[in-house]
Structure 1
Amino acid sequence: MLSLIYPPRSSLFSLPVRDLILANDAAFLNYLRCLGLPEPDSEAPVSPQGTVPEPYSFPLSKVKPTKLSGGSVKVVDSTTFKISKTITAAEVTVEPGAIRELHAGDIGRPLFMRYVPTSMGHYVENTGNTTLKFLEIFNTDIFQDISLNQWLALTPAKLVKEHLGISDDVVSKLSKTKNTVVGSK
């Protein structure tokens, strides 16, 4: 029965045992032409199940960055990459002396950064002299974080002052808008 589905093992003996090293795209395309094979993307494979409604790849390089006072942020989640239902990412750039604002990523579990537990406030400061670039990745469909600065600014000032013991001057400097990356002053 399997012989009706799979080719015989002997047909696999002619497969190359070494990897092909492709010097450049022109050489690769020439190699395909010599073998009589179609060029990549010139013929889409036909499947009896139909076509995939959404692509499984996403060019982060084509996302327009949100410019901020201390850097920029590019976000990819299910609002821009429709098939992405369980992962989101943000490419963050932080200029020298700037910080990725104190925040908590309470939505979704952090990946690859196990030392920053969920709901634990943290920030990233660029103490170097070149631009810092990193990815924030979470297993959720919408990218969200909670800005401590914005949260406190939107809490009644009397509560903030009484509970944190801070002055009117400090409260007046809190920002009601999210400033993901803040430049040095």
Structure 2
Amino acid sequence: MWYFPPGIPHSIQGLEEGCEFLLVFGDGNFSDLNTLSITDWFAHTPKDVLAANFGVPESAFAHIPKKQRYIFQANVPGPIESQKVSDPYGTVPKTFTYRLLAQEPIVTPDGTVRIVDSTNFPISTRIAAALVEVKPGGMREMHWHPNNDEWQYYLSGTARMTVFAANGTARTFNYRAGDVGYTPFAFGHYIQNTGDQSLWFLEMFKSDRFEDVSKDPF
């Protein structure tokens, strides 16, 4: 997992085998059209202003793209040791990466769970998550989350989730790999594996802590 605090500029490079990842934002109104891009900014800034700002000739900006570049082809970067950016003030105090699959899972009768939040990934002060595996015939028990809404992404397998509000109000949904699920704050729910292989999905929360209340809590 990567975590980038709000306002921190960053870029992501694909290595030899490419890279597939899921972008998750705490703001449901997010749009990549409103994301600050350096290429977009430079393309709409006069070259004489860029030259004055960086103290180089205008010719240095002769090949700036005329429109924003979002995902584009470039050379595969070399080893990380050769790509490190030197900083006279030292390295950042907290890591921006957490290896979730390296975590020893919590093993339950019907599957496994790995949890990441600010308790084991200190930089992650706005997002908490759990990687959940439910074995065939198993279920993620009846539970609710007392701190925030739940956003889900289904990685593999098939599932069925029933969400219960109150006063007999409920609804059941089917899911498969690539689907997104959502459960409002404090709504009761459970997730069943409806297939013949392990169900894997991510639970994500706009919170610094993972919390749930269930008959068989993690």
> Could you say whether these structures have the same fold, taking a TM-score greater than 0.5 normalized by the shorter chain as the test?
yes
Correspondences of 1:13-52 after superposition (within 5 Å): 13-14=62-63, 19-20=73-74, 22=76, 29=78, 39-42=79-82, 44-52=84-92
Given the alignment, which residue of 93, 96, 106 partners 2:146? 106
Q: Percent identity?
A: 35
- The answer to whether the Cα contact below 8 Å between 1:72 and 1:93 also exists between their aligned partners in 2 is yes
The aligned amino acid for 2:61 is L
Distance 1:74 1:9, change over 3 A: farther
Where structure 1 has 5 or more consecutive residues not aligned to the other structure, the ranges are 23-27, 30-38, 150-177, 181-185
Distance in 1 between the 2:83 and 2:134 partners? 42
The structure where strand makes up a greater share of residues is: 2
Report the equivalent of 2:97: 57
Equivalent of 1:142 in 195, 198, 209: 209
Question: In the alignment, which residue of structure 2 is the partner of 1:11?
Answer: 60
Instruction: Give the distance between the partners of 2:204 and 2:117, measured in 1 at CA.
Output: 10
Name whichever of 44-53 and 61-70 sits farther off: 44-53
TM-score by length of 2: 0.54
Contact 1:104-1:120 at 8 Å conserved across structures: yes
C-alpha change, 1:115 and 1:79, in structure 2 (3 Å) is: closer
The answer on whether the counterparts of 1:99 and 1:126 sit within 8 Å (CA) in structure 2 is yes
In the alignment, which residue of structure 2 is the partner of 1:68?
A: 108
Residue type at the aligned position of 1:109: D
Q: 1:127 to 1:114 in 2, by over 3 A?
A: closer
**For the residues of structure 1 that align with 2:182 and 2:101, how far apart are their CA atoms?**
28
CA RMSD of aligned residues (A): 2.8
Give how far 1:118 is off.
Answer: 0.8
Residue 98 of structure 2 aligns with an amino acid whose one-letter code is F
SS at match of 1:41: helix
Tell me by how many angstroms 1:130 deviates.
0.5
- Give the TM-score of the pair, scaled to structure 1: 0.63
Query: Which SS does the other structure have where 2:101 is aligned?
Result: helix
Q: Which moved more, 1:47-56 or 1:124-133?
A: 47-56
Q: Following TM superposition, by how much is the alpha carbon of 1:21 offset from its aligned partner in structure 2, in angstroms?
A: 5.9
Aligned mates of 2:103, 2:94 — CA distance in 1: 17
1:92 aligns with 2:135: no
The alpha-carbon deviation at position 179 of structure 1 amounts to 4.7
Deviation (angstroms), 1:122: 0.3
Q: Deviations over 1:101-144 (max 9, x none)?
A: 11101212333566411110000000111000000000111111
Are the aligned partners of 1:68 and 1:179 in contact in 2 as well (CA < 8 Å)? no
* 1:80 and 2:120 are equivalent in the alignment: yes
- Aligned residue for 1:121? 188
CA 1:55 to 1:107, structure 2 compared with 1: closer, same or farther past 3 Å? same
CA distance in structure 2 between the partners assigned to 1:2 and 1:48 by the alignment? 24
Counterpart secondary structure, 2:115: strand
Counterpart-to-counterpart distance in 2, 1:132 and 1:114: 14
**Distance in 2 of aligned mates of 1:125 and 1:21:** 44
Rg comparison, structure with higher value: 1
